Amino acid sequence: MTITIVYDNEVKKRGLKPHWGFSAYIEIEKTLPILFDTGADSPTLLHNMKELNIAPEGIGIIAISHAHLDHTGGLSEILKINKTAELYIPSSFAVVASGRKVTIVGKDAIQICGNVFSTGELEGIEQSLAIKTDKGVFVVTGCSHSAMRGILGAASEFGRVYGIAGGFHGFHDFKAFDGLSLIYPCHCTQYKQKILQLFRGKALGCGAGLVIEL
pLDDT tens, position by position, 50-92: 999 999 999 999 999 999 999 999 999 999 999 999 999 999 9
CATH class of 2-213: alpha beta
The pLDDT-based confidence of 99 (bands split at 50, 70, 90) is confident
State the CB neighbour count (10 A cutoff) for residue 182: 18
Please state, in angstroms and as integers, the Cα–Cα distance from residue 5 to each residue in 46, 110, 116, 141, 142, following that order.
13, 23, 17, 12, 12
DSSP-derived letter for residue 196 is: H
pLDDT at 95: 80
pLDDT of 98 over the 80 cut? no
pLDDT at 94: 81
Closest listed residue to residue 182, CA positions, set 212, 162, 210, 198: 162
The predicted-structure confidence for 7-56, as pLDDT tens digits, reads as follows: 999 999 999 999 999 999 999 998 899 999 999 999 999 999 999 999 99
Strands 61-63 and 86-90: parallel
